[in-house]
Structure 1
């Protein structure tokens, strides 16, 4: 019998915690290497980080050296105790690895706007009276002044991203209002009908440009220069280095030209002795950069919308029944064991089971399946799903951070903060990119100043600034993380939970899929099919003893036998010294005798064997796809019991779809050869192995990997956990055990193979999207830098204005963001 006992211990052999204080690179450039002293990483030059252990931290209270070390988060009054869900902020560029920040603001390394981890629960609402807004309560009720029902206060759930978006948008419009007049004044020489010099001298208009452009620089865009200074101070040049140098040079040049024009060479002066000013370039460039920031902040809000939509599935309140009275309470006050009433059309508040009544529940927002599911008493229900047109009572079993919805949010948060291996390409390029661009700008200035036409220094200055502006690597840095953020959120909506970005990339490379049988290909809910005495005991006594020894087992087959006995009015007995034998079966003491129930390996291990005629009956049952268990008492086979586990309706189509994608599908099962062959033939699998112990599955994964295969392993039980850890990608069924889900990198909420098809398709599309983004970023820079440097001027007389360069730079970022958001429509 395959053993899926939830409570069996599982420890990764590598999950040891180091107590040694050490420093390590947050980018893990040299893997797990540590350094004895603080300083910079010798590979990427990032500041080393100190910590109690030198591995990645999966959350603030648990550390792991393994790919996914299993752990449980403690419960505390129904509220989340996982600090990663407390609303910390992180940089979307992962400049300092997994480091988080307590307050919203800019990343101290790259200057990007920090992104907030979405909380696993919505912030508790504040209720107020529509007529008396000064009345505020933390729970629903009636206004003590007028008696009106209190309503949730508006605007309290506004996100930090939205606040930053509104603030930046305000500055952008101020910049637009100030920049347009500056641009018109600067271009007046080209617009003959304006005749501004007839109104006032050019010197006066220069001071007006200065007055209008200065607020754009020092109010609307001062944060850009702070980011640029931080990048230089920390010796981590980035997009803000280029912008601050380029725009700063244009602005400072113009100020000096306005104040002391006599200090400039004649090349920079017109016939009246005025030096050409570049206030319009500084103002317009910063305005365009602000436009890019506005669009980026808006896009970040959209990328987290999947999480927000999931959070919105839970109602703010629940109807609890206590002492026969129904009372509405805030969701965070619901405790395990509470009886809740769910009314027609309402969202189910927490995870639990139906206490009384029936329901038809729409689970599409959790599982991705559009067909409503019928539920009866004792059936499980999931928080966030939508009740149909009936009312029922449910028992709360998982609340707070323990609900499936909270775990989904936690996983999406973690995945959106992780780095795909392909991002190393962008990181490597960006590492040297800014220094290279600065060098190109310097060379551009020298070439134009030495060999350019008159006024040579003017051409040199303008083209050098254009190179700095157009080469901004923002799009390059956004290419991977923006797609990962959108992709993991979309996957969660489709019932595919991804733990980290590596899984998305690896899933696209998988060549072989290994799957378990019970609970993966089959429903995992086998039912009693037959029982037969092979000794002096009656058939009913064989079933009684089989159900009694299985009473304390949580294996699906054991549950089927116990439930089947009860349906035949046979009540199992409590036996002593119960023991589960992994991959073989169970045993206990009955009237001083050892009684065991299990597969042929257990029978052989106990030295028992039925005669040939009895074995013939066993084979007949197995050829029909039944799983046969032997009842053994004192090394003698007293009877057999069989169960049948129906193949899921979706398995055949899912296997066929995976094979069309070029993936070979193999089944490894602890069941017997005959049953395994029946299932494999029916589904058209590429191969199968029967009688597999946990170590057999683990070794088979290693064997295939040794042959160069990229292996994904899908399973739902403890006996699958070692293989899930070893596989390139571990896929757990959401209907299986907690340990399987902790060992896997992808969890399928619905627990059927169509989820693997979705995961593969989504992986392919996300990786294609990332490559498209990288192409956009590389093409813009590869084409833009030479044009900005003036390579077309000798042939076509074409130069790229710094203003046009700024527009192109912003457009490259917008292209990447827009392309990534297409994933939401998949």
Structure 2
């Protein structure tokens, strides 16, 4: 079904633009106040508003299947869940009620046998006052109100929390691990240089490399094909993907290899003569892709994936908050270290194949670290599941998003800093509420039981006790509502 949108329209369903361009306000989904330009082939989501322009789009999801509906379900699920600290509060409440009843009965008995006349009146007043003032409303509200406010505020910043337990775990983290491609970087690699070392010119090297990459789904393959543009590419026979290394095949009667240095070394193709160029490109943050023809290295394609525009600022925020930052990548160590230096990363784990990422997270955890993993691809899913808290970029794969405990609707690493700041603020708010409820009951119950009588000759009026009980609940709710105005520090 095709639908047309013009300026001022609210998008009714999810879909993909087939014609035209428009600026859309996606603030209700992503928390990003700046309208986003959308064109042919890009997605639009239900609930967003067309600020300017006109487009024709094809519906892809309606009703409960739209992104907005999924967000609402996730928020409701998270707000109704309880973290470990909330379950502890419930256990305390379960014990608290019978303990208060016992205290009321014991206090009543003491006043009945040892209190002034008329004993029965004092006994009833004391028992009633203790039961009124000790109503566990504040204790019961302490964690749910903080969760509702914290999860709601997180959603306003484009941070979707799967359950309240994820909020608590996120508040205790000390290490944040980032996948490189598509997370720290834009995920749009570009060929920035082509170097040749034999009787092969740049155009021929690029043409053969692009021909090989036609059969590959790797992000670097897309970059090489884009660079080749409209070149006439030869047919490739015997195409093979060599996991973690590159690709191979035959074209125009030549045996071709295209991949990293490890591939050429494995195939016993000498790379010593071009070692200096490999190191030079890698030290600039580019990934060297080597082309070998008939067992001889003939060209190097330098592919660079630029950092996201806000990566450095977001990582600086995390540094200031005290987190150790780690980059996890399958890239070679030289390239990885160059990018890490540019971004401000503390530690680099390079040369990791997709199935080794979860093991890398496990090793960090074995060192006693509380680890968050930030990723966006299918290959990040095992690591996201292994981490104490998995954080998926909203533009990533469905598998990654389903595996993660927290999803960022904005394609920005600022969301990571926001998510962790909100989680800390929410847990701090819970503890404040629980401490307040504890102090209130620690003071209120003895006073209601008449502990001040020997010193002042006065008892707490049941009406005042009721007002104090209501005030304690109002205090807890008001403190939790402060989270609705919480602003993470830049």
Same fold (TM > 0.5): yes
Query: Does 2:484 align with 1:484?
Result: no
Give the stretch that moved more between structures: 596-605 or 511-520. Answer: 596-605
Instruction: Flag the 1:504–1:580 CA change in 2: closer, same or farther, 3 A.
Output: farther
Preserved contact between residue 412 and residue 488 of structure 1 (Cα < 8 Å): yes
Instruction: Decide which of 295, 302, 305 is 1:642's aligned counterpart.
Output: 302
The superposition leaves residues 79-114 of structure 1 with CA deviations (integer Å, 9 ceiling, x where unpaired) of: xxxxxxxxxxxxxxxxxxxxxxxxxxxxxxxxxxxx
1:703 aligns with 363
Q: Which 4+ runs in 1 deviate beyond 6 A?
A: 591-594
The superposition leaves residues 482-511 of structure 1 with CA deviations (integer Å, 9 ceiling, x where unpaired) of: 211221122112111111212211222211
Preserved contact between residue 470 and residue 784 of structure 1 (Cα < 8 Å): yes
1:493 aligns with 156
2:474 aligns with 814
Equivalent residue pairs, number: 486
Preserved contact between residue 430 and residue 477 of structure 1 (Cα < 8 Å): yes
Q: Per-residue deviation at 1:572?
A: 5.5
Instruction: Decide which of 222, 236, 247 is 1:559's aligned counterpart.
Output: 222
2:261 aligns with 600
1:356 aligns with 19
Query: Does 2:87 align with 1:424?
Result: yes
2:345 aligns with 685
Which whole-Å CA distance do the structure 2 matches of 1:601 and 1:724 have between them? 27
Instruction: Decide which of 320, 325, 330 is 1:665's aligned counterpart.
Output: 325
For 1:111-510, list aligned pairs within 5 A. Answer: 338-510=1-173
Q: Per-residue deviation at 1:644?
A: 1.5
Instruction: Flag the 1:573–1:438 CA change in 2: closer, same or farther, 3 A.
Output: farther
Instruction: Flag the 1:771–1:360 CA change in 2: closer, same or farther, 3 A.
Output: same
Instruction: Flag the 1:552–1:440 CA change in 2: closer, same or farther, 3 A.
Output: farther
Query: Does 2:248 align with 1:583?
Result: no
Q: Per-residue deviation at 1:389?
A: 2.1
Note the residue ranges of structure 2 that are not aligned, 5 or more in a row.
none
Query: Does 2:461 align with 1:805?
Result: no
Instruction: Decide which of 430, 435, 445 is 1:770's aligned counterpart.
Output: 430
The superposition leaves residues 91-145 of structure 1 with CA deviations (integer Å, 9 ceiling, x where unpaired) of: xxxxxxxxxxxxxxxxxxxxxxxxxxxxxxxxxxxxxxxxxxxxxxxxxxxxxxx
Which whole-Å CA distance do the structure 1 matches of 2:105 and 2:322 have between them? 51
- The one of the two structures with greater contact order (alpha-carbon pairs below 8 A, sep at least 6) is 2
Which whole-Å CA distance do the structure 1 matches of 2:243 and 2:369 have between them? 28
Instruction: Decide which of 548, 570, 591 is 2:231's aligned counterpart.
Output: 570
Which whole-Å CA distance do the structure 2 matches of 1:426 and 1:577 have between them? 64
Preserved contact between residue 578 and residue 586 of structure 1 (Cα < 8 Å): yes
Preserved contact between residue 551 and residue 572 of structure 1 (Cα < 8 Å): no
The superposition leaves residues 788-819 of structure 1 with CA deviations (integer Å, 9 ceiling, x where unpaired) of: 21112222122223333222222222222222
Greater fraction of residues in strand: 2
Instruction: Flag the 1:791–1:624 CA change in 2: closer, same or farther, 3 A.
Output: same
Q: Which has the larger radius of gyration?
A: 1
Instruction: Flag the 1:366–1:786 CA change in 2: closer, same or farther, 3 A.
Output: same
Instruction: Flag the 1:791–1:592 CA change in 2: closer, same or farther, 3 A.
Output: farther
Which whole-Å CA distance do the structure 2 matches of 1:729 and 1:740 have between them? 13
Instruction: Decide which of 382, 396, 403 is 1:743's aligned counterpart.
Output: 403
1:225 aligns with none
Q: Per-residue deviation at 1:437?
A: 0.7
Q: Per-residue deviation at 1:550?
A: 3.0
Which whole-Å CA distance do the structure 1 matches of 2:246 and 2:73 have between them? 36
Preserved contact between residue 608 and residue 636 of structure 1 (Cα < 8 Å): no
TM-score, normalised relative to structure 1: 0.55
Instruction: Flag the 1:438–1:633 CA change in 2: closer, same or farther, 3 A.
Output: farther
Preserved contact between residue 530 and residue 641 of structure 1 (Cα < 8 Å): yes
Give the stretch that moved more between structures: 587-596 or 484-493. Answer: 587-596
The superposition leaves residues 643-695 of structure 1 with CA deviations (integer Å, 9 ceiling, x where unpaired) of: 21111111111111111111111212111222212211212221212212234
Which whole-Å CA distance do the structure 1 matches of 2:249 and 2:45 have between them? 36
Which whole-Å CA distance do the structure 2 matches of 1:582 and 1:736 have between them? 22
Which whole-Å CA distance do the structure 2 matches of 1:702 and 1:727 have between them? 8
User: Residue 334 of structure 2 aligns to a residue in which SS?
Assistant: helix
Preserved contact between residue 788 and residue 799 of structure 1 (Cα < 8 Å): yes
TM-score, normalised relative to structure 2: 0.91
The superposition leaves residues 3-39 of structure 1 with CA deviations (integer Å, 9 ceiling, x where unpaired) of: xxxxxxxxxxxxxxxxxxxxxxxxxxxxxxxxxxxxx
Preserved contact between residue 562 and residue 572 of structure 1 (Cα < 8 Å): no
